[in-house]
Amino acid sequence: MPRRRTSSSSSSSTAPSAAPAAPRNRTPQPVRVRRRSFGDFVKAFLAFVVLLALVVGVPLALAVAIGWPLPGGAPGLDWLQREITVQTFLHILTVIVWLAWAQFTACVLVEVKAALSGVGVPGRVPGSGPSQLLARQLVAALLLVGATAASLTPGLSQLGQSLEGNQKPAVAAAQQTPGLFAQQQEQAASTANALAEQAGQAGQDAARADGGGSAAHGDTKYYRIQPPEGRHHDSLWEVADRHLGDGRRYKEIFELNKDRVQPDGSKLSEASLIRPGWIMEMPGDARGGELVEMPDEAPNVSEQVQQQISDYARTGGDHAQGGGGAQGGGDAHVSLPEQRPAPTPATPVTPATPAPGPATGGQHATPAAEESGRSFGLPEALLAAPLLAAGLLGALGRRRRQALWHSALGAVGGRRGMEPPTPTGDAQDAQDALLVGADPDGVRLLDRSLRGLATSLAAESRALPVVYAAWMGGNGDLHLQLAQPAGKPPTPWQVGQDQTFWMLARADAERYEDAETAAPYPGLVSLGTMDDSRLLLNLEAVPGLVSLSGAEADRAAVFASVAAELATNGWSDRMTITLVGFGDDLTPLAPNRIRHLDGFEDLFETMSAETRQRRGALGAAGHDSVLTGRTGPAQHTRWAPHLVLLAAQPSDEDALRLAELAADAGRLGIGYLVGTEGTDLPGAAWEMEITGDGKLLAPLLGLELEAQLLPAAQQRAVVELFTDADPERGPGGPANTPPFLVDISEQGRPAVYARLVGSYEIIGLDAPDGDRSAQLHEALALLLLHREGVHPRVLASALWPRGVTEDVRDALLERLRAWLGTDPDGTPRLGTDATGRLTLAKSVVSDLDVLRSLYYEATQGRGVDSRQVRGRLLTDALVLVRGPLLADRPEGRYRWLTHEIIDAQLPLLVADTGLALSEFHLERGRAEKAIEALNAALRTAPADERLWHELLRATHATEDADRLRALAADLIGRSGARGLPPRTEALLDELLPTWRDGVAAAG
């Protein structure tokens, strides 16, 4: 496939080791394989010779030397009685060679067709194996002289393909969406201008140093963006690399042409977004093989193009409207004798100069804190990963609730009524970072949007399109990047910047409700951010392997982030994640999803079997890919993705086996992410590199992201959180001790008493200012529920989920301190501990603190040795229960409670209290008192099966059969269509054998 002619054949320049930091640097490092060298031509020639010998030479040699080996007519029975001679063996071997030649030729044709068409994954020739791999390598080597490496990678060019065929890199296409990056443009303008001015001054200095050149003579040069040839697209990076000697100087070209009217009437607004036929003014030191001084000296430039360039040159001073013209072919560079004023020098932007970082879309971090560079002691990696943090936080909450129920049901001996362990050290910092960084609304919208799309397509009897990536904008809009055009999207989805993008506005996404369908794209995982947008790559849709190169520690941080998000994300149902070469065990994050394998042999054995099984299942079901059947009857069973993360470097032999294994993985729902020290991994469809400064580069995809990482220290801290919350973990330390015990004697009367269990009331403080009252009450409630201390950023993110500046947060804290006041000894009731976390004095108490302390004292303190004391303490505890937690909280506030497990703790604590008091009364033969205690507990914990069982036993103890039958009927009515739980049925069989007759009569 021929590549367009370039004006320079020099090799790619090597980028300096210390590149200036820039806020809008969207273009990757120069890619080595995009430049053709003498070695490329040698390889191409050798590949041509080998292909010619195998495809043409083999049949000619067979025809000349052996002839046609098969008989000319139908063989008779005497043919079976003939003597087997050497000639017979030669004919059999010849037939085998002919079959092998036919298979190899078919492989060559399939690979050539895939490379030239650029659509989809190359088809698999049955039984080809290494033969097709050899054909692929030979075809790639042959086409290397006429195509870019991106064009030889199946599916790469589909990222951003337009209806007209103008394919662009992934980020360029994503940036074409109006407004997608608008929030960052104004913020980055001053920094970009400084870069351009610095570059312009450097160009002037260079011109003065060499004493001549086109710049010294006042020449202004222009470049015309070329139309795509094959599957290659022009970019400012390549233009700068060829004609300025350094691709990173694309910023200078961008600044010279930004917002100037192009021949088609549009304007350049994004550095990665250019169109064929546009004119680019070049810096004065641009060089090139076809660079000329005047338009009429360029023989391949038409008069129309010359006029377009002349019109465009007049827009240089004031960006006035220029003449339009049709797009057409043209030469590469034209130089006009018109000089733009040299930019004035500016302060250089160095790598140490802080640049605006990417936003995280729905983040809870305080912008002022980030701009000042302070992290407040929390891990920045988790703060900058809102979807990962939300997944981890949700999974951790589920794990802790599960542990509470195990404890309450006696599954773990000696831990009844267990309080979750309070994290300390790095684990506490990690938990706070999760609370600050999590974006549960973003996860919810992403999940509902994807499931809603699947439901709409199913209603129209349309298959799910193959999605390579998703972009989540800072404004909440979602952009799906399709492998190829899939027609008009269902409402409310819209076509994006071209037919390969489907877009859903946040306002439309918020109208979606939960849909009863399988998660369509569970393999989406965050890789990082660019400006205000977050990229999620669909690992299971990749047509082959995804390779990740870079230093081992940096690769491990990317792998850990990918594994953790896949294991806990909220937009998938079922998934298998196989990890190979991971130093730390991540299984505690999701024991049902994650499995570790020892090495490559175990992996090949496992995945070979699963690949065959999935291929056979697809064939039996009549589906061409897992997407076809994902929303069908088998949606939750057979088509769950299997993602393999190989952090270990494969050997050359293992790499070839992996390439063969992954050749058909895209349609089977299997994805492979492989770590490698180099960049040449056989079968790698997409190649990425993680740099030491946290940049994730994918040159062939046109991506340069701020990588999402989970470094080793934070990884261990997160795993510790999950390990401590494991319900199967053996009891250790004080099992039932609450985090804060209150002096329940008369001498321990608090100065400030807050009633949280039920309606919210505060005793001991004057009512605050009306406009600030709700906010101050909410802040105090958060502190009362976390007596161990609350990080200032956690408090800020709870009260202002969409972000807040540091001065506003500090003002709130001052008002809260003033409102709470001081103790008689002058100690502030709102203090700060050694770690900088906000803590309340012991004189500030809530009824929840008292409830916990009373239950603890009754079951593990003084009540253990005194029945009378135990009964009094339990009765006092149950009197405190006036309803659910913060029953009258205003709508729109206290959203942070969704991250808490107090909604599970409080009903269990109340149920435990009611059960203990019921047991106390039944021991005394006071069944009515026991029933009264159980009914009081049921008002707060109506779903606790233990309370109903004890209520049945206490009612049975009254020996009132009618009352027991009425209670049984009430239970049956509450159970609905689900019916009674098995253990409840068994208890009724014991206490009221005739209860089923009543059900049959009612039925």
- Overall average pLDDT of the 830-839 stretch: 91
**Gap between the Cα atoms of 589 and 597, Å rounded:** 16
Cα dihedral angle (160, 166, 172, 177), rounded to 10 degrees? Answer: -80
Q: Are 543 and 685 in contact (CB under 8 A)?
A: yes
What is the amino acid identity at position 862? R
**Gap between the Cα atoms of 96 and 58, Å rounded:** 12
**Closest of 785, 781, 805, 784 to residue 793, by C-alpha:** 805
What's the chain's average pLDDT? 75
The b/e string for 518-547 (b: 16+ C-beta within 10 A; e otherwise) is bbbbbbbbbbbbbbbbbbbbbbbbbbbbbb
pLDDT given for residue 665 in this prediction? 81
pLDDT given for residue 463 in this prediction? 85
Classified as helix, coil or strand, 286 is: coil
pLDDT digits (tens, 9 = 90+) for 334-374: 333 333 333 323 322 222 323 333 333 333 333 333 333 33
**Gap between the Cα atoms of 889 and 774, Å rounded:** 9
**Closest of 568, 548, 570 to residue 559, by C-alpha:** 548
- Overall average pLDDT of the 613-639 stretch: 69
Give the range among 108-117, 223-232, 535-544 with minimum mean pLDDT.
223-232
Beta bridge partners of 812: none
pLDDT digits (tens, 9 = 90+) for 445-491: 999 999 999 999 988 988 889 999 999 988 889 999 998 898 999 99
- Confidence band for 567, pLDDT divided at 50, 70 and 90: very high
Of the chain, the percentage scoring pLDDT greater than 70 comes to: 72
Q: Taking each helix axis from N to C terminus, what angle separates 961-975 and 982-991, rounded to the nearest 10 degrees?
A: 160
- Confidence band for 574, pLDDT divided at 50, 70 and 90: confident
pLDDT given for residue 90 in this prediction? 76
pLDDT given for residue 78 in this prediction? 62
- Overall average pLDDT of the 921-929 stretch: 91
| Assigned token pair, 251 | 């910023």
Which residue has better confidence, 2 or 1000? 1000
pLDDT digits (tens, 9 = 90+) for 215-232: 333 457 788 887 665 435
pLDDT given for residue 525 in this prediction? 95
**Gap between the Cα atoms of 136 and 130, Å rounded:** 10
Q: Are 187 and 497 in contact (CB under 8 A)?
A: no
Which residue has better confidence, 202 or 834? 834
Classified as helix, coil or strand, 267 is: strand
Contacts 24+ apart (CB under 8 A), 494-499: 496/176, 496/177, 497/162, 497/173, 497/176, 497/177, 498/160, 498/161, 498/162, 498/163, 498/166, 498/173, 498/176, 499/161, 499/162, 499/163
Q: Which range has the top average pLDDT, 418-432, 867-881, 970-984? A: 867-881
Give the range among 125-139, 789-803, 967-981 with minimum mean pLDDT.
125-139
pLDDT given for residue 79 in this prediction? 59
- Overall average pLDDT of the 369-391 stretch: 72
- Overall average pLDDT of the 414-421 stretch: 54
**Gap between the Cα atoms of 465 and 520, Å rounded:** 10
Which residue has better confidence, 135 or 146? 135
pLDDT digits (tens, 9 = 90+) for 269-323: 766 567 777 888 888 888 874 443 344 444 566 777 777 888 888 777 544 333 3
Residues 6+ apart with CB under 8 A from 80: none
* C-beta atoms surrounding 896 within 10 Å: 19
What is the amino acid identity at position 634? A
pLDDT given for residue 145 in this prediction? 54
- Overall average pLDDT of the 749-755 stretch: 92
Cα dihedral angle (715, 720, 721, 724), rounded to 10 degrees? Answer: 160
| pLDDT beyond 70 at 208 | no
Query: Locate tokens 């269509």: which residue?
Result: 977
Give the range among 260-264, 380-384, 627-631, 894-898 with minimum mean pLDDT.
627-631
Which residue has better confidence, 624 or 631? 624
pLDDT given for residue 690 in this prediction? 94
Cβ-count burial of 459 within 10 angstroms (0-12 exposed, 13-18 middle, 19+ buried)?
Answer: exposed
pLDDT digits (tens, 9 = 90+) for 42-94: 777 888 888 888 888 888 887 777 776 666 555 565 655 666 677 777 777 88
Which residue has better confidence, 651 or 32? 651
Residues 6+ apart with CB under 8 A from 543: 120, 121, 154, 155, 666, 685
| pLDDT beyond 80 at 660 | yes
End-to-end alpha carbon distance in the chain: 76
Query: Locate tokens 């070979």: which residue?
Result: 608
Q: Are 544 and 692 in contact (CB under 8 A)?
A: no
| pLDDT beyond 60 at 382 | yes
pLDDT digits (tens, 9 = 90+) for 148-171: 333 333 333 333 333 333 333 333
Q: Are 280 and 330 in contact (CB under 8 A)?
A: no
* C-beta atoms surrounding 221 within 10 Å: 23
**Gap between the Cα atoms of 539 and 537, Å rounded:** 6
Q: Interior CA angle at 547 toward 528 and 524, to 5°?
A: 45
Please spell the DSSP secondary structure of 660-692, one letter per residue: HHHTTHHHHTEEEEEEESSS--TTEEEEEEE-T
Beta bridge partners of 409: none
Q: What is the 3-state secondary structure (H, E, C) of 161-209?
A: CCCCCCCCCHHHHHHCCCCCCHHHHHHHHHHHHHHHHHHHHHHHHHHHH
Residues 6+ apart with CB under 8 A from 744: 850, 853, 854, 857, 873
